[in-house]
Amino acid sequence: MGGSGGSEPRPIVVAEPGTSLLVVDPGELRQQFEGWGTSLCWWANRVGRWTPEGVGRVADVLLDEVEGLGFNIFRYNIGGGENPSHTHMGEYKDIEGFQSSDGVYHWDSDQSQRAVLDALVARDDSLILEAFSNSPPYWMTQSGCASGSASGGNNLKDDAYDDFADYLTEVTLHFRDEWGIVFRTLEPLNEPNANWWKADGGQEGCHFSPTNQQQIIQLVAAGLAEKGLTDTVVSAADENSIDDAVTNLSGFSEETVAAIGQVNVHSYSGSKRKELRALATQLDKRLWQSESGPLSVDVADDIEAGLFMGGRIMSDMTTLGAQAWVDWQVGDVSLNWASITLDDGDEDFELRKRFYVQAAFSRFIRPGAQILGVDAEDVLVALNQDGKSLALVIRTTDAARSFTLDLTQLPSVGTEAQVFRTSRTEDLAALPPLAIEGFSVVVNAPASSLTSVLVPLP
């Protein structure tokens, strides 16, 4: 039988033969988790052209925490808008801007991405929303192109920093005052340290040197304050490399650090997760993993691509201590990036293995959960905010793993744990419940799988 709290003596838990002992200690508190999400832009620019009913079906599967992904964070891309004479942007990647080169705002722009955002907000007005920019409008750039400069260097004109900050904050103001959509954060940068943002590229992008990053961060923060956007703070700097994020943030001035309300980083590359977590804690800043994905993992085997992403989630949640984990594209045309395969003709979608990998985490570790530290790699444990459940996810690759969970540090536990498995042949399949006896339970995780365990806390 399980525990029942009070002064009842607790047994000493010993690992069952062939298993490793894993102690779950609610005193080992790590970060409080804000939630799961995705950026909109490209896939939303596609889906937003469907009928409202079709858009609604996609919104539902992203938001539903029982049958879907249970996302509560969405990042809206404020388009720079490419030179209309250019045709080099990839499919759906040319996001319309709201301001033309004569300075006039056109608020009927970007109807597709906005249609998806509206559908999401209509279903849940408590969502956490971020606005972000990939590039300034093309006429503010040195190259006259929103995909970057000729050399991959700084592309915003030296005399356009005020104009760019005004553009981003004016769009944020309009969304709030005219459309009732409040962005909690505004990110003026996207992988700014990268040197691959070049003219005539396949997507919007803009390099900013660390000095120029500081300039635009401070101007955007000042613009938010001047326009009374007190519910929106600057997030920065969405570097592609965690190591670049550590280096640049460490060198920012006190004024720049004060202008940043949230540290954003992508987890595509770099290894300094512990260092960035320590720096964010030192600076008292919220830390998000704001964009990631499987990159070039072979899509011939969906489970391998999915497990790669599962490993990225594990590292970002445990070592980086990310307070949110945000996917890049849930419905990308490149299948290794897609959790759902979109069908424009039928305005429908199919769920891919990657969907179930995400759901193996997001259905059980919910917003507000307290992440707990445990002495095991590729194991994520969280105490859900409602206090009614403990969630645990185990990732395996080449070899199976087995654990005896020591739950004696918990006030009380139920008698059975729910178990769900995602593997080559299983899609978050419900398995027979596991008996909790003497404040312990044995969990077996076969090779190449994600095992999600939900322990009730009565």
300 lies in some domain: yes
Beta-strand ranges (E) seen in 184-279 are 185-187, 233-241, 260-269
CA–CA separation, 122 vs 58, rounded Å? 13
Q: What is the CATH number of the domain that holds 311?
A: 3.20.20.80
Same domain, 208 and 79: yes
Average pLDDT value for residue range 5-32: 90
Q: Higher pLDDT residue, 300 or 194?
A: 194
Q: What angle do CA 380, 382, 385 make, to 5 degrees?
A: 160
The pLDDT score that the predictor gives to residue 301 is 75
Domain boundary among 312, 330, 364: 364
pLDDT in tens, 78-132: 999 989 999 999 889 999 999 999 999 999 999 999 999 999 999 999 999 999 9
Same domain, 149 and 74: yes
198 lies in some domain: yes
pLDDT in tens, 224-278: 999 999 999 999 999 999 999 999 999 999 999 999 999 999 999 999 999 999 9
Checking if the pLDDT of 447 tops 80, the result is yes
The pLDDT score that the predictor gives to residue 213 is 98
Average pLDDT value for residue range 310-323: 97
The pLDDT score that the predictor gives to residue 1 is 37
Strand bridging mode 429-435 / 389-396: unpaired
pTM of the model: 0.97
Same domain, 403 and 360: no
Same domain, 278 and 413: no
Same domain, 357 and 256: yes
Strand bridging mode 233-241 / 260-269: parallel
Same domain, 176 and 294: yes
Average pLDDT value for residue range 6-33: 92
pLDDT in tens, 346-360: 999 999 999 999 999
CA–CA separation, 223 vs 162, rounded Å? 9
Domain boundary among 303, 333, 364: 364
5 lies in some domain: no
Same domain, 334 and 380: no
Same domain, 263 and 295: yes
Mean of the per-residue pLDDT values of the chain: 95
pLDDT in tens, 394-434: 999 999 999 999 999 999 999 999 999 999 999 999 999 99
Domain boundary among 364, 394, 410: 364
How many domains, in total, are found in the chain?
A: 2
75 lies in some domain: yes
437 lies in some domain: yes
401 lies in some domain: yes
Amino acid present at 413 = V
Checking if the pLDDT of 293 tops 90, the result is no
pLDDT in tens, 39-89: 999 999 999 999 999 999 999 999 999 999 999 999 999 999 989 999 999
Same domain, 129 and 225: yes
CA–CA separation, 95 vs 75, rounded Å? 14
Same domain, 192 and 312: yes
In the block, tokens 């979608």 appear at 349
Q: Which residue range(s) make up the domain with 44?
A: 34-364
**What does the block give as tokens for 198?**
């070049």
Ranking 56-65, 137-146, 211-220, 294-303 by mean pLDDT, the lowest is 294-303
Same domain, 320 and 385: no
Checking if the pLDDT of 2 tops 60, the result is no
Closest among 57, 53, 72 to 342, alpha carbons compared = 57
pLDDT in tens, 359-371: 999 999 999 999 9
Closest among 345, 354, 364, 349 to 327, alpha carbons compared = 354
Q: What is the CATH number of the domain that holds 395?
A: 2.60.40.1180
3 lies in some domain: no
Same domain, 57 and 160: yes
The pLDDT score that the predictor gives to residue 4 is 43
266 lies in some domain: yes
Task: Give the percent of the chain with pLDDT over 90.
Answer: 92
φ, ψ of residue 156 to 5 degrees: the values are: -75, 130
